[in-house]
Structures are given as C-alpha cells and as structure tokens.
Amino acid sequence: MEYSISTFEKLLYACNQNNKKIYEIMQEKEAFDFEISTEEVRAKTLKNINAMKDAIISGLCSSEKSFSGLCGDDTAKLKEKYKAAPALFGNLFEKITTYALATMEENLRMNKIVACPTAGSCGIVPAVIIALAQEKDVTQDDEVNALITAGTIGYIISTKVAMAGAVAGCQAECGVASAMSAAAATQLLGGSNKQIINAATLALKNVLGLTCDPVGGLVEIPCVKRNAFLAIHAITAAELVLANVESKIPPDEVVDAMVQTGQLMSPLLKETSMGGLATTKSGIIINRELQKKEGI
C-alpha cells in the first residue's frame, strides 16, 4: 500500500483511516516502496533484532578497551556493581543500562552493531527493546513490531533533518534514538498509536539542545554513557504516556523545534570537537595524549 507518512499527523491519519497499528502501516509502506512482501520486511527486521542481541551478548562478555584506551570496561564495572548491590529500580533498569553500555562498547571495539539511528546512539534502541522483551516475556513478533515502530519514528524525523551530530547536535542522534525507544517501549507495553507518538514526542522534547562535543573527536566521551542515560529516559516517556500524560506541543511542532534548534546551534557544538566537553581542560589533555599515541 502506498502511504504518505512524512509527518506524525499523516501517520496517525493513515492509522485511523485503516484501523491499523503504526508498525502495520510502516511495514506495508516499506513493502510497497521496496517492492517486497511484508513478510520480507519483517524478516529483515528480525535479522536486525538478532544482530542487536548478538552485540549485547558479546558486549556483556568483554572488557576490552577501545584503541584510544578511554572506554570499554564500563559494562564490566556495572555488572560487578549490580552483583554486589542490585539496582534501586530493579531488573529492568539493570538490563537496560548494561545492554546500552554493552552495545556501545562493541561499537568502539569496531565490532558489529546495528546503527539505530547512528553508531553513536546504537545502544539505546536495542537496550530498551531487548530488555523489555525479556522482562515482559513477549514473542519474537512483538519484538519485530516494536523495532518497526521505532523505525517509523526515526523515518519521520529524518524527512526533516539528517540524523547526524554534525547537522543538529546529539539531539539528532541519541535524542532521536531515545524517541524511537520510547515509541517501541510503548508499543511493547500495549499503548495506543496516539500514546506511541506521544511517547516519542515527550522523549524528543526533553533532549532539545543536546550538543555534540566528543572528546578527541572520538565517539566515546560522552557518547558511551549517554546511551545508558537516554535509554532510561525513553522508559520515563513510556510510563508517562501510559498514564495519559500528553505533550502540550504536538509532535510535528516538536520536530520543527528540534530542526530549528539544530540550525541555531553553534558549529563548535556540532561534532567539530571545538567546544563543550571537548575543550574542557581535561578534554584538551586527553586529546593531546591521543595525538601523541597516534604520532601526530
């Protein structure tokens, strides 16, 4: 079926007109656009789910540092901590935070991850979907539905802005990943289409202005830990919308605000490593040490 879903308003209209869930509309759109069957769309999505699970499994078993030596052992530290003292917020919190770090640490080791929507934000969507699916004991089909729902959110935002820190700061990477995860979590928890879109809206609204200032130009500081934070942020959005808390600013207007915020953001804070954390006293020292290591 041919659908025009370049805005959240159009997406909700298509869902209401056809009495379908967001993932149903999107899988039909994908099938139409790429001239494949919806079964093939779902099979491709499942392949991504499995790749996400593989990255989590290998990330949980490794404490190998990245080439820079800056990151790579935070998952191991967090696992040790939870063994000694369980998380205040329980099992789901433990899983989400460790899975997010595990996936990101696989990324910095140059191992296989699913960029979702980008490599720097690759830990957020998998952590939320896989952890929640395990805790809620849902089916594989439910996981696929959740990932297609997440992808729909990313797709709509991407029609207005490129998902790159260099274009709109980290709100366009980890921020969008958090919005996608909020939608996926709400789908997994049985929310309505309106609640799913509202969850993405609340999550995105609360990261507007998030800058991209990676230390030494590497996708490590602050990126790795930010994934754990914004995965939990997504769950907060899902909980709020399931209580029927609504964003007073409609979803498409929030995306417009994000685009404008990205345009207004100084280039120093858009992946150039010329401002923010990258140019703190410690950030500069780390950068100098990296340059020495690389013989620059």
Q: Does 290 bind ligand SF4 (CB under 6 A)?
A: no
In the bound complex, what is the minimum distance in angstroms from residue 175's beta carbon to ligand SF4?
9
User: Binding to ligand SF4 by residue 149, rule CB under 6 A?
Assistant: no
> Does residue 121 touch ligand SF4 according to CB under 6 A?
yes
Using rule CB under 6 A, residue 273 touches ligand SF4: no
Q: Is 214 in the site for ligand SF4 (CB under 6 A)?
A: yes
Tell the burial category of 160 from Cβ atoms under 10 Å away from its Cβ (0-12, 13-18, 19+): middle
User: x/- string (CB under 6 A) for ligand SF4, residues 253-272?
Assistant: ------------------x-
Closest among 178, 196, 179 to 242, alpha carbons compared: 196
Residue selected from 148, 163, 203, 223 as contacting ligand SF4 according to rule CB under 6 A: 223
Taking CB under 6 A as the binding criterion, the range among 20-28, 61-69, 108-116, 219-227 that sits at the site for ligand SF4 is 219-227
Candidates 49, 163, 170, 188; binder of ligand SF4 (CB under 6 A) is 170
Task: Identify the burial level of 276 via C-beta atoms within 10 angstroms of its C-beta, where 0-12 means exposed, 13-18 middle and 19 or more buried.
Answer: buried
Which residues in the 172-201 window bind ligand SF4 by CB under 6 A?
Answer: 173-174
Provide, rounded to whole angstroms, the least separation between the CB of residue 157 and ligand SF4: 14
Among the listed ranges 66-74, 167-175, 255-263, 280-288, the one in contact with ligand SF4 (CB under 6 A) is 167-175
Q: Does 74 bind ligand SF4 (CB under 6 A)?
A: no
Tell me whether residue 118 or residue 152 sits nearer to ligand SF4 (CB atom).
Answer: 118
User: Exactly one of 59, 72, 117, 120 binds ligand SF4 (CB under 6 A); which one?
Assistant: 120
Question: Contact letters (x/-) for ligand SF4, 28-57, by CB under 6 A?
Answer: ------------------------------
Is 165 among the residues that bind ligand SF4 (CB under 6 A)? yes
Closer by beta carbon to ligand SF4, 121 or else 186: 121
The DSSP string of the chain is -----SSHHHHHHHHHHHT--HHHHHHHHHHHHTT--HHHHHHHHHHHHHHHHHHHHHHHT--PPPTTSSSS-HHHHHHHHHHHS--TTHHHHHHHHHHHHHHHHHHHTT-----SS-GGGTTHHHHHHHHHHHHHT--HHHHHHHHHHHHHHHHHHHTTS---HHHH-GGGTHHHHHHHHHHHHHHHTT--HHHHHHHHHHHHHTTTT--B--GGG-S-TTHHHHHHHHHHHHHHHHHHHHTT---SS-HHHHHHHHHHHHHHS-GGGBTSSSSGGGGSHHHHHHHHHHHHHTT-
Q: Which is nearer to ligand SF4, 120 or 191 (CB)?
A: 120
**Cβ at position 221, least distance to ligand SF4 in Å:** 8
Contact 187, 149 (CB under 8 A): yes
Residues that bind ligand SF4 (CB under 6 A): 120-121, 165, 170, 173-174, 212, 214, 219, 222-223, 271
